[in-house]
């Protein structure tokens, strides 16, 4: 009877799931019918049938049928990014090659070369053999390599990541942290750079929700509590603007756009202020309907109307209409003083500009076809392809260069003839030289900035006019890598240094062979391998390079080779090779199990929650009660970091395989060092008030206290010993009550 009941429930659940799948598919079709031809709809139907059949026996971690995921990704692709039928089809089948028996050739036969190329780009790397290489970095690099073929790969990948983040609650806590950190480190900035601002904001918010859930909940609740008050303010603020715009005959929309939870949190951290003191919680966006040729003039007319009603801040005007951002973003931003004494950011743009701001690249190409010609986005994609052309760069170096250049703010500088050049913030005179041409950069000896002579390392500012000085005798040097920030500059310098090194190695090889002949030695392959090991170099070229630099003693080499003949080198190399073939899992297990417990019991580490030896990371100084994770270092064992450590996002994103779970157990006998920053109004007895609170707090000892006072304001740093976060929180709460104290916060580095 029970069996029959279970079977009946299973059949009912199956019917419910079928209806849900059909409902999601019809919703997808409704979203695409508006702009797709019948042939395109047939392509989508075919992709849906293939995906439904391929994933029929698969379920997600949440327990729901797997097909829900590709359907949701396809929905994001069409409604939130605005891509067409081919992209929707690719989104529906993006996991079948990796997760099922269907091959890439099957996809090519059923859907053609273009769909197969995109699906290939979307298929994840099955495995990376090198223990020291980040799988995510390799994955990310491979994904970007497909840019040269089709940028839709990245757009679909972002949709895939967005749905994974929306359904992250079904994953284990450690998996949530790794995926959220990777999202914050790579995918959110990439969405921003591609102009997908709505997706970028949601990815950041969701990442914060899982990395720092209490912070996220606190800000989210406060935003909900103040929603009605903000809406009343927006209505009152926009009323006179709306009346004037209507009088002038404009067709327009006005929206009040609230800052994302993540951007509010970022501002609170950067400025050290509470939620209540974040003045620009929202921005007013004015979107006008106007012909392409009148866009610029009409946007400035709207600016004039806004500033007729409210006084603008002169230093807060941003004109991204005359000089759009590299990702194609165009808008006019100003900050004005409202009637109630509150600063308000106003964004002015056209319908076309808003479409590009919301849907990024997809909208950019739609408008590019109408207007013709190249744009900033094409130029930016060209820069990425140039960066990807360096085959010798490691994946992690590539990610560093990529994030440094393409996620940085921009500056605008000019050539002597007045040509505008865009560079990342902090770019130097040498970066500018390489931006002009690689040969100009290679021969650069200095520059004139605004007619004043400056060195290669001089940092440029927006508005600078730069003239490059060159010499035919100049060539790139190793220390130049410290003077540049752009990927282009670094790549060209490294290529030049490598070529120079190769030439020196060729000279070194001639010297090596000549000296060996004089010593009556045979420079065979076996001997060269021995010497590589002896001098600890990776290749024969590195060995010959040392010879060219006169860093090799040939008498020493002769003695070493004669001595080595007495031992079994065959056995030595056999042992080295066999040990190098150990599986990566064995290596990881060896690293973890080699730690012997030293009697500490305040942390449980790893999937099995074992008591292992560890050290506390100095970059964030975790204490019991903090949300923490373990990181397996190469030389220093397991290091414990706070989840909100400044380095956590990069570690969990690039080295996820070296991250292990860690959890505090109850510990009241050990004290941990923590730092507190206090600010307030300088008054007689203020130090006494603060020290009295600390001394009255049970079991709190001070290690050091330092105060600085200027213009009636004091700020101090106090180092105290506490048991855990609850102990520290209680101390901070009591310090805030002390007379004269305005702010109290924990500081990370101690």
For residue range 152-169, list pLDDT tens digits in order.
788 888 899 999 999 998
Sort strands 638-642 and 615-616 into parallel, antiparallel or unpaired.
Answer: parallel
CATH number of residue 699's parent domain = 3.30.70.260
Alpha-carbon distance 240 to 288, whole Å? Answer: 16
568-589: average pLDDT = 43
What count of other Cβ atoms lies within 10 Å of the Cβ of residue 650? 18
Residue with tokens 């059909």: 22
Same domain membership, residue 614 and residue 731 = no
Write out the residue range of the structural domain in which residue 523 sits.
495-580
Q: Which of 357-371, 392-406, 735-749 has the highest mean pLDDT?
A: 735-749
Output the average pLDDT for the chain. Answer: 78
CATH number of residue 316's parent domain = 3.30.460.10
Residue 210 confidence (pLDDT): 92
Same domain membership, residue 190 and residue 86 = yes
The half-sphere exposure of 339 on its side-chain side, counting CA atoms within 13 A, is: 12
3 state DSSP class of 583: coil
Residue 285 confidence (pLDDT): 94
Q: What does each C-alpha distance from 245 to 239, 298, 313, 331, 614 come to in angstroms?
A: 10, 11, 21, 18, 65
- Closest Cα to residue 378, out of 194, 145, 192? 194
3 state DSSP class of 732: helix
Alpha-carbon distance 448 to 468, whole Å? Answer: 6
Q: Are 43 and 78 in contact (CB under 8 A)?
A: no
Q: Are 245 and 189 in contact (CB under 8 A)?
A: no
Q: What does each C-alpha distance from 387 to 254, 298, 397 come to in angstroms?
A: 40, 38, 11
Q: How many domains does the structure of the chain reveal?
A: 5
Sheet with 603-605, edge to edge strand ranges: 603-605, 659-664, 628-632, 638-642, 615-616
600 DSSP assignment: -
Same domain membership, residue 151 and residue 47 = yes
Alpha-carbon distance 78 to 84, whole Å? Answer: 7
Using CB atoms within 10 Å of the CB of residue 717, give its burial: 0 to 12 exposed, 13 to 18 middle, 19+ buried.
Answer: middle
The token pair that represents 704 in the structure block: 């050091």
Note the pLDDT tens digit of each residue in 172-193.
Answer: 888 888 888 888 887 888 788 7
Q: Could you say which of 53, 98, 479, 506 is catalytic?
A: 98
Same domain membership, residue 261 and residue 351 = yes
Domain membership of residue 69 (yes or no) is yes
Alpha-carbon distance 74 to 83, whole Å? Answer: 9
Residue with tokens 């180092």: 719
Alpha-carbon distance 64 to 54, whole Å? Answer: 15
Note the pLDDT tens digit of each residue in 316-347.
Answer: 888 989 888 776 788 999 999 988 888 899 99
Q: Are 493 and 480 in contact (CB under 8 A)?
A: yes
Q: Could you say which of 17, 99, 220, 745 is catalytic?
A: 99
Contacts of 479 (CB under 8 A, 6+ apart): none
- Terminal-residue alpha carbon distance, the chain: 66
Domain membership of residue 600 (yes or no) is yes
Residue with tokens 């701001």: 357
Which has more pLDDT, 231 or 572?
A: 231
Alpha-carbon distance 136 to 384, whole Å? Answer: 18
Domain membership of residue 420 (yes or no) is no
For the chain, the farthest-separated pair of C-alpha atoms sits apart, in whole angstroms, at 99
608-635: average pLDDT = 77
Domain final position from 355, 371, 387: 371
> Looking at 242-251, 300-309, 736-745, which range is the least confident one?
736-745
Same domain membership, residue 200 and residue 349 = no
State which H helix or E strand residue 273 sits in.
none
Quick one: angle between helices 213-225 and 227-247, nearest 10? Answer: 60
**Strand ranges for 276-381 from DSSP E:** 282-289, 311-312, 318-319, 332-337, 343-350
Which has more pLDDT, 562 or 270?
A: 270
Residue 333 confidence (pLDDT): 93
Q: What does each C-alpha distance from 563 to 55, 71, 557 come to in angstroms?
A: 64, 69, 10
Residue 638 confidence (pLDDT): 83
Is residue 98 annotated as a catalytic residue, yes or no? yes
Residue 600 confidence (pLDDT): 42
Contacts of 439 (CB under 8 A, 6+ apart): none
Note the pLDDT tens digit of each residue in 684-734.
Answer: 667 777 777 777 665 577 777 787 777 777 888 888 887 777 778 888 888
Contacts of 708 (CB under 8 A, 6+ apart): 714, 715, 716
Provide the residue count of the chain. 750
What count of other Cβ atoms lies within 10 Å of the Cβ of residue 695? 10
Whether the per-residue pLDDT at 609 is higher than 60: the answer is no
Same domain membership, residue 641 and residue 551 = no
The token pair that represents 558 in the structure block: 């002769």
Residue 166 confidence (pLDDT): 92
Q: Cα 74–77–79 angle (5° rounding)?
A: 105
Alpha-carbon distance 468 to 329, whole Å? Answer: 30
Domain final position from 664, 693, 716: 664
Same domain membership, residue 656 and residue 534 = no
Alpha-carbon distance 136 to 439, whole Å? Answer: 34
Domain final position from 580, 607, 623: 580
Query: pLDDT tier at 11 (50, 70, 90 boundaries)?
Result: confident
State which H helix or E strand residue 421 sits in.
strand 420-424
Domain membership of residue 639 (yes or no) is yes
Q: Which of 3-17, 206-220, 389-403, 581-595 has the highest mean pLDDT?
A: 206-220
Q: What does each C-alpha distance from 712 to 145, 637, 651, 683 come to in angstroms?
A: 57, 47, 42, 8
Is residue 14 annotated as a catalytic residue, yes or no? no
Give the pTM: 0.64
CATH number of residue 90's parent domain = 1.10.3210.10
Q: Which residues on adjacent β-strands are paired with residue 468?
A: 447
Query: pLDDT tier at 74 (50, 70, 90 boundaries)?
Result: very high
Same domain membership, residue 727 and residue 624 = no
Domain membership of residue 388 (yes or no) is no
Query: pLDDT tier at 568 (50, 70, 90 boundaries)?
Result: very low
Alpha-carbon distance 655 to 595, whole Å? Answer: 20
Query: pLDDT tier at 583 (50, 70, 90 boundaries)?
Result: very low
Alpha-carbon distance 176 to 211, whole Å? Answer: 8
Same domain membership, residue 607 and residue 735 = no
Q: Are 94 and 184 in contact (CB under 8 A)?
A: no
Domain membership of residue 453 (yes or no) is no
Which has more pLDDT, 422 or 455?
A: 455
Alpha-carbon distance 548 to 501, whole Å? Answer: 10
Whether the per-residue pLDDT at 2 is higher than 50: the answer is yes
Same domain membership, residue 285 and residue 145 = no
Domain membership of residue 384 (yes or no) is no
Whether the per-residue pLDDT at 126 is higher than 50: the answer is no
Q: Give me the sign of the Cα torsion angle 737, 741, 747, 750.
A: negative
Domain membership of residue 655 (yes or no) is yes
124 DSSP assignment: P
Same domain membership, residue 535 and residue 511 = yes
Residue 402 confidence (pLDDT): 54
49-76: average pLDDT = 87
630-644: average pLDDT = 81
Same domain membership, residue 158 and residue 71 = yes
The token pair that represents 256 in the structure block: 């009040």
């Amino acid at each position: 009877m029970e069996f029959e009941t279970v079977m009946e429930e299973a059949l009912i659940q199956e019917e419910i799931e079928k209806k849900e799948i059909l409902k999601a598919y019809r919703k997808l079709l409704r979203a695409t019918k508006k702009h797709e031809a019948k042939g395109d709809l047939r392509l989508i139907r075919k992709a849906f049938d293939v995906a439904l059949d391929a994933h029929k026996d698969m379920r997600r971690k949440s327990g729901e049928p797997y097909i829900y995921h590709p359907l949701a990704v396809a929905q994001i692709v069409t409604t939130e990014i605005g891509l067409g039928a081919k992209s929707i089809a690719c989104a529906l089948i993006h996991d079948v090659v990796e997760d099922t028996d269907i091959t890439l050739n099957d996809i090519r036969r059923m859907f053609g070369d273009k769909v197969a190329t995109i699906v290939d780009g979307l298929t994840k790397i099955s495995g990376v053999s090198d223990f020291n290489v980040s799988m995510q970095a390799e994955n990310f690099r491979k994904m970007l390599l497909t840019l040269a073929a089709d940028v839709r790969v990245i757009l679909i990948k972002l949709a895939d990541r967005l749905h994974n983040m929306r359904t992250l609650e079904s994953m284990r806590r450690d998996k949530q942290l790794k995926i959220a950190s990777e999202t914050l480190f790579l995918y959110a900035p990439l969405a921003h750079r591609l102009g997908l601002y709505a997706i970028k904001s949601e990815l950041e918010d969701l990442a914060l929700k899982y990395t720092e859930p209490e912070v996220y909940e606190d800000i989210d609740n406060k935003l909900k509590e103040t929603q009605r008050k903000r809406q009343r303010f927006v209505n009152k603020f926009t009323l006179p603007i709306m009346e004037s715009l209507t009088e002038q005959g404009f067709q327009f929309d006005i929206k009040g756009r609230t800052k994302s939870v993540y951007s509010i949190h970022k501002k609170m951290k950067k400025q050290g202020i509470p939620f209540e003191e974040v003045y620009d919680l929202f921005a007013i966006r004015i979107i006008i309907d106007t012909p392409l040729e009148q866009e610029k003039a009409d946007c400035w007319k709207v600016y004039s109307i806004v500033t007729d009603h409210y006084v603008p801040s002169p230093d807060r005007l941003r004109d991204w209409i005359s000089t759009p951002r590299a990702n194609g973003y165009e808008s006019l931003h100003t900050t004005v003083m409202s009637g109630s004494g509150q600063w308000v950011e106003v964004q002015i743009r056209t319908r076309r500009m808003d479409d590009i701001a919301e849907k990024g690249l997809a909208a950019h190409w739609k408008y590019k076809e109408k207007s013709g010609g190249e744009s900033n986005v094409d130029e930016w994609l060209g820069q990425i392809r140039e960066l990807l052309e360096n085959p010798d760069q490691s994946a992690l170096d590539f990610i560093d260069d990529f994030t440094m250049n393409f996620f940085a703010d921009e500056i605008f500088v000019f050539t002597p003839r007045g040509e505008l050049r865009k560079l990342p913030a902090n770019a130097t005179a040498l970066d500018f030289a390489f931006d002009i041409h690689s040969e100009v950069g290679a021969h650069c000896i200095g520059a004139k900035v605004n007619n004043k002579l400056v060195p290669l390392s001089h940092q440029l500012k927006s508005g600078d006019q730069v003239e490059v000085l060159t010499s035919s005798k100049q060539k790139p040097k190793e220390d130049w890598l410290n003077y540049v920030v752009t990927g282009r500059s670094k790549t060209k310098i490294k290529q030049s240094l490598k070529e120079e090194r190769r030439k020196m190695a060729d000279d070194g090889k001639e010297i090596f062979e000549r000296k060996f002949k004089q010593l009556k030695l045979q420079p065979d392959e076996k001997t060269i391998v021995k010497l590589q090991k002896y001098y600890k170099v990776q290749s024969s070229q590195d060995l010959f390079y040392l010879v060219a630099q006169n860093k090799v003693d040939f008498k020493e080499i002769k003695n070493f080779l004669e001595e080595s003949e007495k031992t079994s080198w065959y056995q030595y190399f056999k042992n080295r090779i066999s040990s190098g073939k150990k599986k990566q899992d064995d290596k990881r297990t060896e690293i973890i199990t080699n730690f012997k417990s030293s009697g500490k019991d305040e942390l449980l580490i790893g999937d099995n929650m074992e008591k292992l030896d560890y050290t506390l990371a100095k970059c964030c100084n975790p204490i019991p009660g903090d949300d923490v994770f373990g990181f397996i270092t190469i030389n220093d064992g397991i290091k414990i970091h706070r989840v909100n450590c400044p380095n956590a996002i990069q570690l969990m994103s690039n080295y996820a395989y070296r991250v292990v779970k860690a959890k505090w157990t109850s510990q009241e006998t050990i004290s941990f060092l923590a730092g507190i920053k206090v600010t307030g109004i300088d008054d007689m007895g203020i130090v006494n008030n603060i020290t009295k609170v600390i001394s009255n707090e049970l079991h709190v000892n001070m290690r050091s206290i330092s105060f600085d006072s200027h213009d009636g304001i004091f700020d101090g740093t106090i180092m105290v010993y506490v048991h855990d976060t609850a102990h520290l929180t209680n101390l901070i709460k009591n310090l805030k009550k002390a007379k004269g104290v305005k702010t109290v916060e924990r500081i990370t580095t101690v």
